Amino acid sequence: MLRTLRLHSTLKPLSPLTLLSYLLFLLSSLCSHATANIFIYAGCSQEKYQPNSPFQTNLNSLLSSVVSSSSRASYNSFAIGNDSSASPEGAVYSLYQCRGDLKMPDCSQCIQSVVSQIGLVCPNTYGAGLQLDTCFLRYEHGDFLGKLDTSLKFKKCSKSTSNDVEFFRRRDDVLADLQTAIGFRVSTSGMVEGFAQCLGDLSSADCSACLSDAVVKLKSLCGSAQAADVFLGQCYARYWASGYYDTSRDSSNEDDTGKTVAIIVGALAGIAVIIVLLSVCRKAAG
């Protein structure tokens, strides 16, 4: 079973040069993907595999297939090492999916980002899932494909809106429409917009059941929120008041990114000074 994560650092201290290289890489990534591939949640299994094990070999092969497939299809599932002639401990099952309105080049870019991150978020684990804003990847040692999972993975609720009867009526219209989605659906009613999506391994009946549960959780967990997101194991639903993300979320993301870049630039400058001083000291000592 996956446990949902809030990221925390478990890194050992790095040498100044290693840290400088890492910060340069991070700065480059932030500058080129400032508003794309926003992290939503991650989950990792407790059990870990041994390096160079059959599972790791199959997982590496699977992730390569995922990257290759994402340039041609927005959803795909995989099973490697599960035939009778293979070692049972090497079996790995996986699926990936991009948001339904994403163009193929953007889908491929998002999946590449997920694949590059999932091993860092969940190192050497038999199971992992990583949800970014526009794509999702999951792999497991056991076969989870097609099995309904409505457990809550992530929720986000804005501040409550005023007691606006018209807003609530429009919101309920959008949510009722999203419950009928098969795959991906966008819905708008007056001032309220939203979209929902099921993972591609679900049947139509299971998709409806998952989205119905997501809508119930949106209302019960977020109440009168002006915007709300709920991600379950195999589907998600989101709604917002028109203009909410234009004036709130987007500017917040840009501000957060700007602050992060400023911090990194400051850290780079500090490390550069330390490296120069160490070099001068070594020459003086020599």
pTM: 0.74
Given a contact cutoff of 8 angstroms between Cβ atoms, the answer to whether 188 and 268 are in contact is no
What tokens does 233 get? Answer: 């194991």
Q: What domain range is 65 assigned to?
A: 37-140
Cβ neighbours for 16, distance < 8 A, ≥ 6 positions apart: 271, 274, 275, 278
Residues of the chain falling short of pLDDT 50? 6-15, 18-19, 21-26, 28-35, 246-262
Q: List, as one string, the DSSP characters of 175-213.
A: HHHHTT-SSEEEEEETTEEEEEEE-TTS-HHHHHHHHHH
Please tell me the predicted confidence (pLDDT) of residue 15.
46
Identify the CA nearest to 10 among candidates 93, 129, 123: 123
Final residue before a domain boundary, out of 107, 140, 173: 140
What tokens does 73 get? Answer: 């299809």
**Total domain count, the chain:** 2
pLDDT in tens, 226-273: 999 999 999 999 999 976 554 444 434 444 444 444 455 555 556 655
Residues 160 and 228 in one domain: yes
Cα of 233 vs its chain's centroid, Å: 12
Final residue before a domain boundary, out of 111, 140, 169: 140
Please tell me the predicted confidence (pLDDT) of residue 183.
83
Q: CA torsion, points 20, 22, 25, 30, in degrees to nearest 10?
A: -100
**DSSP, res 49:** P
CATH number of the domain residue 213 falls in: 3.30.430.20
Q: Is 167 helix (H, G, I), strand (E, B) or coil?
A: helix
Residues 179 and 214 in one domain: yes
Q: Is 246 helix (H, G, I), strand (E, B) or coil?
A: helix
**Does any domain span residue 256?**
no
Identify the CA nearest to 121 among candidates 3, 16, 229: 3
Q: Give the dihedral sign, CA 254/258/261/263.
A: negative
H-helix or E-strand spanning residue 270? helix 250-285
Q: Return the bridge partners of 138, or none.
A: 95, 129
H-helix or E-strand spanning residue 252? helix 250-285
Residues 115 and 162 in one domain: no
**Does any domain span residue 265?**
no
Identify the CA nearest to 236 among candidates 175, 192, 189, 158: 175
Please tell me the predicted confidence (pLDDT) of residue 155.
95
Residues 111 and 53 in one domain: yes
Distance between CA atoms of residues 106 and 71, nearest Å: 9
Residues 116 and 160 in one domain: no
Residues 114 and 171 in one domain: no
